[in-house]
């Protein structure tokens, strides 16, 4: 179906949703008095059969004997617990159903359902086309019970990205540039900047941002907590905005932009490896931590285990073998683009790492204990 040229050119002046009513005398007091809508027009004067009302971002046409089914109207309220205790669902006199929903629902992060998982790039035969035309590859298929999502994202064609200013209702979100580069802009963080391969940012809860441009075949790693979270488009904000406040607090987190070129390497939690700390543990006040690790050349191959809730690892470069002290396959040969999840207290070790091997490790929370098994 094609859209008439007149509609494309902006001829639409207003819109309304038609609700069938049997009697305006009973329906109007419900919408005007109980729900707080206002009357905009009504006709005919001697025996009204149509009333147009508006409020709460809606324009409704109450039309007597209209040939439409009863509607379900959702109202998002601020005092949800009090109102829902009385009734979370209302029915108008003529059968239209009104559902009350929380305008500011608390963020719910499901309890982690732990599992050991290996996800190989070579086994991924399809990429799902997601928001703004980006290709998504799922790295944690069971989402650990809904507690986290990890995606390998590709944008095959370089140039401007058809993105809009938006934000995410999340507890934690990481963007790690894996290949190529991407140009981004964030609320209160100044002018747009390039996120190069090896760099990463965290997107604090509800920070407005936009992807502006990408190189050919750019690839990024994105982690989000919880797995299912809402993305909201902000049609009113333009970025960059006038305020620059890099230390702003966003529900307990601060914006972090880690640059590989400025990284400092030091011994890692696993003997035989060095790591660079991205500063995300400090930026999130311990909610999550992200490290990039590489073998230090000593050849140490030590069995270890951890006690953190979630530990996700992505092989950034090179290759290694993951050995597991558990039922099932004992060794997993991994290369760049592969990923794995280690549940708490599982004994593992990294062996035969290539000299160029690097892994990205994300943990929730950032502070935890590593046990070395001699």
State whether CATH 2.60.120.10 applies to domain 117-258.
yes
Considering the segment(s) 262-373 as one domain, its CATH architecture is Sandwich (2.60)
Q: Spell out, as residue ranges, where the chain has pLDDT lower than 50.
A: 1
The whole-number pLDDT of residue 3 equals: 54
DSSP string, 262-285: G--EEE-SSTTEEEEE-SHHHHTT
pLDDT of residue 132: 63
Q: How far apart are CA 139 and CA 332, in angstroms?
A: 16
CB 286 within 8 A of CB 252: no
Are the C-beta atoms of 114 and 346 separated by less than 8 Å?
no
Q: What is the pLDDT of residue 374?
A: 81
Q: What is the DSSP letter of 253?
A: B
User: What pLDDT digit, counting tens, does each position of 331-356 carry?
Assistant: 999 999 999 999 999 999 999 999 99
Predicted pLDDT at 79: 83
Closest CA to 221 of 108, 123, 336, 353: 336
Q: What is the pLDDT of residue 105?
A: 87
Predicted local confidence at residue 329, as pLDDT: 75
Domains 117-258 and 262-373 alike in fold:
yes
CATH code given to domain 16-102: 3.10.180.10
> What does the pLDDT read at residue 242?
95
Return the pLDDT at 36.
Answer: 95
Listed by start position, the domains of the chain span: 16-102, 117-258, 262-373
């Amino acid at each position: 179906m094609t859209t008439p040229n007149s509609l494309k050119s902006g001829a639409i002046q207003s819109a309304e949703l038609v609700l069938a009513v049997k009697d305006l005398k009973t329906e109007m007091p419900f919408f005007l008095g109980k729900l707080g809508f206002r009357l905009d027009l009504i006709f005919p004067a001697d025996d009204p059969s149509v009333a147009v009302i508006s409020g709460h971002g809606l324009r409704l046409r109450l039309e007597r004997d209209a040939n439409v089914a009863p509607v379900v109207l959702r109202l998002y309220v601020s005092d949800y617990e009090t109102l829902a205790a009385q009734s979370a669902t209302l029915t108008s006199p003529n059968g239209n159903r009104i559902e009350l929903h929380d305008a500011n629902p608390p963020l719910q992060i499901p309890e982690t359902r732990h599992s050991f998982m290996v996800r190989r790039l070579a086994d991924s035969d399809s990429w799902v086309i997601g928001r703004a035309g980006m290709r998504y590859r799922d790295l944690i298929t069971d989402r650990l019970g809904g507690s986290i999502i990890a995606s390998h994202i590709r944008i095959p064609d370089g140039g401007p990205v058809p993105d809009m200013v938006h934000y995410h209702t999340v507890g934690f979100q990481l963007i790690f540039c894996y290949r190529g580069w991407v140009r981004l802009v964030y609320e209160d963080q100044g002018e747009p900047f390039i996120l190069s391969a090896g760099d990463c940012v965290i997107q604090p809860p509800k920070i407005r941002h936009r992807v502006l441009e990408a190189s050919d075949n750019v690839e990024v790693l994105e982690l989000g907590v919880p797995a299912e979270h809402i993305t909201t488009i902000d049609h009113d904000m333009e970025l960059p905005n006038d305020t620059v406040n890099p230390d702003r607090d966003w529900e307990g987190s601060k914006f972090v932009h880690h640059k590989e070129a400025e990284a400092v390497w030091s011994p890692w939690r696993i003997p035989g490896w060095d790591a660079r700390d991205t500063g995300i543990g400090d930026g999130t006040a311990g909610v999550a931590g992200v490290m990039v690790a590489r073998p230090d050349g000593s050849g140490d191959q030590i069995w270890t285990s951890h006690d953190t809730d979630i530990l996700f690892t992505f092989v950034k470069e090179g290759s290694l073998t993951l050995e597991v002290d558990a039922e099932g396959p004992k060794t997993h040969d991994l290369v760049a683009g592969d990923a794995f999840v280690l549940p708490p207290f599982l004994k593992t070790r990294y062996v035969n790492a290539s000299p160029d091997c690097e892994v990205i490790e994300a943990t929730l929370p950032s502070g935890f204990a590593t046990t070395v098994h001699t």
